[in-house]
Amino acid sequence: MRPSSPAISDTELDAVVTVAHEWFHTRGVDDERVTGCYAVRLTWEWIRRASSYTPRAREAAKRHLLDNGLRPPAYKLASSCTLA
pTM, entire model: 0.86
Q: What does the alpha-carbon distance between residue 36 and residue 42 come to, in Å, rounded to a whole number?
A: 10
Among candidate residues 8, 63, 56, the one with its CA nearest the CA of residue 40: 63
Q: How far apart, in Å, are the Cα atoms of 20 and each of 50, 58, 60?
A: 17, 18, 19
pLDDT, tens digit, for every residue of 22-65?
999 999 999 999 999 999 999 999 998 887 788 888 899 999 99
pLDDT of residue 15 exceeding 90: yes
